[in-house]
């Protein structure tokens, strides 16, 4: 097949005229957006989005099937080669060449949230790299979906299957890249924010990547969790320490609107603030990515992003014909009507039919002018995943002076770094001294005369919670209550509800006092359910709670065997040498199925007598909790365990620096 020179001629003329500057991967002011899935249901032709300077790189989504190739670009392309199911997209091909002439890079994304993809062996990956080069880049396949258009690279958005073959695929593709010195080619990835990524973790450490578009949404570490669990630092550390390419660029991936993701959307001003903060701290920053261009243009956040990047970035190369647009919303054709692609750069027309996830696109009326209105996230369903830093939240009781004095309820957050060091939260570093019946905490004095007769704190369950107590983010609540709503599980933190999304496919249930996320099963689900933890604290304890403002939010842990999980340790009662505690385990990708084990070290003088929902294996103070011999009939995403034991005064928390969750 002879390749047309039209695109190179156009690009050369435009560049000579100073109209566009080529995409520069070294900048931290690049804006990347995905195109092809008609997420906002008003997706325009690819070329329309390249008429202005908003985006610098467009990712075509998706090749959602390989090595048996399946392509899906929703309403952008539906026609196929004669006698084949392979999409043939001549109109998109023209648009790709036009976008490149405007200085924008265009790459193809492989994978996606759903599809049939993956390699059975390393050799499969190598062979498929040849296929990709020949069909989408400078090769000579008989059938090329984008005709003579030559893409600028590939993106791996791998959200399922194993990791086999991807390193070989990248190495072979890079060997093809080196054979063509006429242009630059790129390799990108779009991992989810929990580090390391569940599917591409080893590949990211073993293969060359130019850009990584981290999805800071639909996850526990998303933009909406900034700054507490937002973990760009983990990815910056990866870029500097583990990546083969020490100049790899890491992008802040963001939803283009509240409806673009289940969770993680932040408005333009908030995203700008986050970007500027990250830019000031981390040299690996490459810019911002959004899912997807139709959402970002409709909401108006694309304009906010372009402005933030222009004002704060190290370099600005206008990736298009003019200034960013202020309003560019027109509905696209419905799935049953023909649409033609016509503009100043293309006179071809093509029949286009929706082939997106919903199979038919009803295009609602959309406003002609949109601006970023700073809409708050409306969380519906979400995939909750886990941050990379191994951390545990542990709510502890600390006895002061003698056992007969009082039990104060403190909250301590231990952060377990990769080196195993532990840091005590400043909120819990209270100075407690015994001075003749008086206890001081951070300069506050409490008299033992204030104590009640019973200094223990117990859990009291409410078996019939009122349906009108549905937890709402930010609404008032009683401290330490737990509950469920239609989004996920909720904890009362400092008198306000904090709602956390459940893992994809799971639902919140109440088991005793614990709100957990699990598969839909026979728990008697109530999407609006609250289970209060009733305390009877002493006056001194109440004062201490007020002074310390304990943070009861769960913090996630990446544990042994590559398992993403969250562990919570919540003492229920501590009194007169005996204690009980609730241990909650939750996992993301790999459900518990009678094969889990939790191991940790007890403080000196402590022992565990019994547990429910499991059995104990102890060797001195080393303790492992395993499931009961009889397997749960269904795999579980969550385990709730009550442990009971003895302690020698003073009560101390377990040594969490060596706690592990593993499958065996």
Supply the residues annotated as catalytic: 159
Rounded to an integer, what is the distance from CA 362 to the centroid of its chain? 29
Instruction: Give strand pairing partners of 500.
Output: 489
Ramachandran sector of residue 386 (left: φ over 0; alpha: ψ -120 to 50; beta: rest): beta
- Report the distance separating Cα 31 and Cα 256, nearest Å: 12
Instruction: Give the pairing type, strands 249-255 and 211-215.
Output: parallel
Instruction: Give strand pairing partners of 299.
Output: none
Ramachandran sector of residue 134 (left: φ over 0; alpha: ψ -120 to 50; beta: rest): alpha
- Report the distance separating Cα 120 and Cα 417, nearest Å: 35
- 179's tokens: 């054979």
Give one DSSP letter per residue of 194-242, joined into a string: SSS-TTTHHHHHHS--SEEEEE-SSSTTSGGGTTTT--HHHHHHIIIII
- Report the distance separating Cα 197 and Cα 74, nearest Å: 28
Q: Are the C-beta atoms of residues 411 and 551 closer than 8 Å to each other? A: yes
**Residues whose CB is less than 8 angstroms from the CB of residue 150 and which lie 6 or more positions away in sequence, other chains included:** 3, 7, 136, 137, 138, 183
| Nearest Cα residue to 501 out of 377, 640, 380, 583 | 380
Q: Are the C-beta atoms of residues 399 and 407 closer than 8 Å to each other? A: yes
- Report the distance separating Cα 346 and Cα 348, nearest Å: 6
């Amino acid at each position: 097949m002879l390749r047309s020179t039209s695109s190179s001629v156009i690009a050369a003329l435009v560049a000579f005229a100073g109209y566009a500057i080529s995409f520069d991967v070294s900048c931290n002011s690049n804006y990347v957006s995905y195109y092809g899935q008609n997420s906002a249901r008003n997706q325009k032709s690819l070329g329309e989005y390249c008429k202005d300077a908003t985006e610098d790189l467009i990712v075509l989504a998706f090749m959602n099937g390989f090595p048996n190739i399946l392509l899906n670009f929703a309403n952008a392309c539906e026609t196929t080669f004669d006698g084949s199911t392979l999409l043939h997209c001549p109109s998109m091909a023209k648009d790709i060449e036009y976008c490149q002439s405007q200085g924008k890079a265009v790459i193809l994304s492989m994978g996606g949230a759903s599809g049939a993809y993956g390699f059975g062996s390393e050799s499969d990956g190598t062979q498929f790299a040849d296929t990709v080069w020949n069909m989408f880049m400078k090769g000579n396949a008989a059938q090329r979906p984008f005709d003579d258009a030559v893409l600028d690279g590939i993106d791996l958005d791998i959200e399922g299957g194993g990791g086999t073959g991807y390193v070989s695929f990248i190495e072979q593709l890079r060997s093809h890249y080196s054979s063509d010195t006429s242009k630059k080619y790129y390799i990108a990835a779009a991992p989810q924010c929990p580090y390391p990524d569940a599917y591409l973790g080893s590949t990211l450490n073993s293969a060359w990547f130019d850009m990584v578009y981290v999805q800071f949404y639909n996850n526990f570490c998303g933009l909406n969790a900034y700054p507490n669990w937002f973990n760009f630092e983990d990815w910056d550390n990866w870029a500097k320490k583990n990546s083969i390419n020490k100049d790899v660029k890491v992008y802040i991936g963001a939803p283009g609107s509240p409806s673009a993701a289940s969770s993680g959307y932040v408005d333009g001003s908030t995203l700008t603030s986050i970007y500027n903060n990250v830019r000031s701290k981390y040299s690996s920053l490459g810019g911002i990515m959004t899912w997807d261009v139709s959402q970002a243009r409709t909401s108006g956040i694309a304009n906010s992003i372009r402005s933030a990047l222009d004002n704060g970035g190290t370099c600005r190369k206008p990736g298009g014909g003019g200034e960013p647009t202020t309003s560019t919303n027109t509905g696209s054709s419905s799935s049953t009507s023909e649409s033609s692609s016509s503009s100043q750069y293309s006179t071809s027309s093509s029949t286009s039919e929706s082939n997106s996830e919903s199979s038919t696109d009803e295009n609602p009326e959309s406003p002609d002018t949109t601006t970023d209105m700073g809409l708050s996230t409306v969380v519906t369903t979400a995939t909750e995943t886990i941050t990379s830093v191994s951390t545990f939240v542990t709510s502890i009781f600390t006895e002061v002076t003698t056992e007969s004095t009082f039990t104060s309820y403190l909250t301590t957050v231990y952060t377990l770094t990769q080196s195993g060091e532990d840091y005590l939260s400043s909120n819990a570093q209270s100075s407690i001294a015994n001075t003749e019946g008086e206890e001081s905490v951070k300069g506050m004095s409490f008299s033992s005369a204030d104590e009640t007769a019973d200094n223990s704190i117990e859990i009291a369950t409410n078996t019939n919670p009122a349906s009108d107590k549905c937890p709402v983010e930010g609404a008032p609540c009683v401290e330490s209550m737990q509950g469920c709503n239609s989004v996920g599980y909720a904890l009362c933190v400092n008198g306000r509800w904090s709602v956390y999304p459940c893992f994809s496919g799971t639902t919140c249930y109440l088991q005793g006092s614990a709100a957990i996320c699990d598969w839909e099963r026979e728990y008697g689900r109530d999407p609006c359910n609250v289970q209060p933890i009733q305390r009877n604290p002493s006056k001194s304890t109440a004062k201490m709670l007020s002074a310390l403002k304990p943070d009861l939010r769960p913090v996630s842990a990446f544990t042994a065997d590559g398992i993403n999980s969250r562990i919570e340790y919540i003492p229920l009662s501590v009194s007169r040498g005996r204690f009980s505690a609730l241990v909650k385990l939750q996992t993301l990708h790999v459900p518990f199925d009678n094969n889990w084990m939790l191991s940790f070290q007890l403080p000196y003088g402590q022992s565990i007598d019994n547990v429910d929902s499991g059995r104990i294996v102890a060797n001195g103070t080393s303790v492992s909790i395993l499931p009961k011999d009889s397997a749960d009939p269904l795999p579980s995403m969550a385990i709730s365990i009550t442990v009971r034991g003895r302690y020698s005064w003073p009560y101390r928390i377990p040594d969490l620096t060596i706690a592990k969750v593993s499958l065996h």
